[in-house]
Amino acid sequence: MAKITPISGFPEWLPEQRIVEQRVLDELRARFESFGFAPVETRAVEPLEQLLAKGETDKVRYVLRRLRAVGAVAEPDADGLGLHFDLTVPLARYVQQFRGQLAFPFKRYQIQKVWRGERPQRGRYREFYQADLDVVAQDDLPLSVDAEMARLLVDCVSALPVDPLVLGVNNRKILQGAYEALGIGDVAGTLRIVDKLDKVGARGGRVALVAAGLPEPAAYTCLALGRIRTPDASFRDAVRGLGLSGSLLETGLDELAFVMDALDDLPAGRVVANLSIARGLDYYTGTVYEGQIPTDAELGTVCSGGRYDDLVGGGTNVRLPGVGVSIGVTRLLGQALAEGRLAASRPVPTCVLVALRSAATARAARDVAVALRARGVPAEVFHEERPFGKQLKYAQKRGIPYVWFPPADAGAAHEVKDLRSGEQVPADPGAWTPPAADRVPAIVRAGPA
């Protein structure tokens, strides 16, 4: 057998890491459900025509081919299927497919792995978890939902074992309106350049804009617009200061001001109007979001989203506008897990190891475990007859906090030992409960080494 090596871009975790990831997914799910979002899970595959037409079209897809193992004959036909690379394209398809059976506005969350065949690099994965929230309405979707989604993002990420999020909000109509006011013909191309400003810098951006055919003053104004960042609705004055006007621009400014005003009760600095945010995706038509963890800038964008007025209708005459956000769970956690800055306090759920005195008393030991589990205390019976010293070592190696000793003689007392303090006390299997903090593994965060 060949040596087993990891596959680059496909992260895998030890149990003490997976426990953290699972806890985070649970927390997100609980928050999403507490806001009334319904769970949806879509199949991992979509027809290739869907995968190629939408989303970040420069990303590499995984295509499926069937292979019969006996003789390893590859079937010529690939069924035309590929793995989904996000959860938005599947949502658009799902809503169209099940439209008659869904109630609108349709509020759904979806937490699944997605796959991208890109060259792996630090913080980038080929297989990773995304957690998406979307609201899709029939005909009209009020702007208050755009604010609500921003609030949800901030609320959800603040519940996770990561540093505070700063969520940038912008509105595509501001950028498009400004570009129109500047007489720029290629709005989409300009958006793509502006979207990369953080990566290429102001000078690189200006060069790219001029190379794309923009006059120097227009390029300058585009860059000046993208530098506007305000903690409230005061971005309006800064935009007017650039001498820009127009009805689309005004609509965008009104919409963004509405969203910022609706969020003014959040802690200062959590949400920022950031007029550089464009988002690369074609389908956004209004509000756009992009969140970073400023104390860990290397992570890049950890959540993002926006409003799309035409994604879901897909060419039919039904209008299904939506607004959605996506949290990059693996990106948020991956490095901290890999570097050991984030881990569970023990690699097993077990809170109590029930010691096995002898094979003859296995049933009595089992009954203790059954009684503990019935009160929500994860418990396992040691699996074979061995000296207690070996059994204690088994528990210590796994960080199991308690070892239970059933009595040698019927009628004698059970005892439970706390392996951390060494204290051993009599205990009733039908009543004893550990402190809540010991019941399940704790999540332990540490600063960088």
* Residue list 142-171, contact with its own copies (CB under 8 A): 142, 144-145, 148
Q: Smallest distance, Å, CB 168 to its own copies?
A: 23
Quick note: the x/- pattern for its own copies over 252-281, rule CB under 8 A, is ----------x--x----------------
Binder to its own copies among 108, 172, 206, 236 (CB under 8 A)? Answer: 108
**Considering only residues 6-25, where is the footprint of its own copies by CB under 8 A?**
6-7, 10-15, 18-19, 21-22
Q: SS3 for 254-317, per residue?
A: HHHHHHHHHCCCCCCCCEEEECCCCCCCCCCCCEEEEEECHHHHHHCCCEEEEEECCCCCCCCC
Q: Smallest distance, Å, CB 205 to its own copies?
A: 23
Quick note: the x/- pattern for its own copies over 46-75, rule CB under 8 A, is -xxx-xx----xxxxxxxxxxxxxx-x-xx
If binding means CB under 8 A, how many residues of this protein chain bind its own copies?
A: 100
* Residue 104 DSSP SS3: coil
Q: How far apart are CA 335 and CA 122, in angstroms?
A: 8
Quick note: the x/- pattern for its own copies over 360-399, rule CB under 8 A, is --xx---------x--xxxxx--xx---------x--xx-
Tokens of 139: 């005909």
Tokens of 298: 């290397």
HSE-up of residue 305 (Cα within 13 Å, Cβ side): 28
Tokens of 356: 């096995």
Q: Is the distance from CB of 193 to CB of 205 less than 8 angstroms?
A: yes
Residue 110 contacts by C-beta under 8 Å, 6 or more apart in sequence?
39, 40, 41, 42, 87, 90, 91, 131, 132, 134
Q: Smallest distance, Å, CB 377 to its own copies?
A: 8
Q: Which stretch binds its own copies (CB under 8 A): 39-47, 165-173, 275-283, 294-302?
A: 39-47
Our finding on whether 127 is near its own copies (CB under 8 A) is: yes
Q: Smallest distance, Å, CB 58 to its own copies?
A: 6
**Considering only residues 325-354, where is the footprint of its own copies by CB under 8 A?**
347-350, 353
Our finding on whether 430 is near its own copies (CB under 8 A) is: no
Q: Give, in degrees to the nearest 5, the angle at Cα 430 between 429 and 436.
A: 85
Rg (CA), the chain: 27
Binder to its own copies among 84, 87, 88, 107 (CB under 8 A)? Answer: 107
Residue that the structure tokens 């700063």 belong to: 166
Residue that the structure tokens 């060259």 belong to: 119
Q: How far apart are CA 403 and CA 383, in angstroms?
A: 14
Our finding on whether 97 is near its own copies (CB under 8 A) is: yes
Q: Which stretch binds its own copies (CB under 8 A): 195-203, 299-307, 312-320, 409-417?
A: 312-320
CA 350 vs. chain centroid, Å, equals 28
Q: Smallest distance, Å, CB 15 to its own copies?
A: 4
**Considering only residues 219-238, where is the footprint of its own copies by CB under 8 A?**
none
Q: Which is nearer to its own copies, 177 or 305 (CB)?
A: 305
Q: Which stretch binds its own copies (CB under 8 A): 134-142, 279-287, 294-302, 403-411?
A: 134-142
Quick note: the x/- pattern for its own copies over 395-424, rule CB under 8 A, is --xx--------------------------
94, 119, 357 from 48: Cα distances, Å:
15, 21, 60
Give the residue from 200, 202, 193, 260 showing the smallest Cα distance to 227. Answer: 202
**Considering only residues 75-94, where is the footprint of its own copies by CB under 8 A?**
75, 78, 81-83, 93-94
Q: Smallest distance, Å, CB 65 to its own copies?
A: 5
Give the residue from 60, 48, 82, 95 showing the smallest Cα distance to 310. Answer: 95
Q: Which is nearer to its own copies, 227 or 386 (CB)?
A: 386
**Amino acid letter at 92?**
A
Q: Smallest distance, Å, CB 396 to its own copies?
A: 10
Q: Which is nearer to its own copies, 36 or 411 (CB)?
A: 36
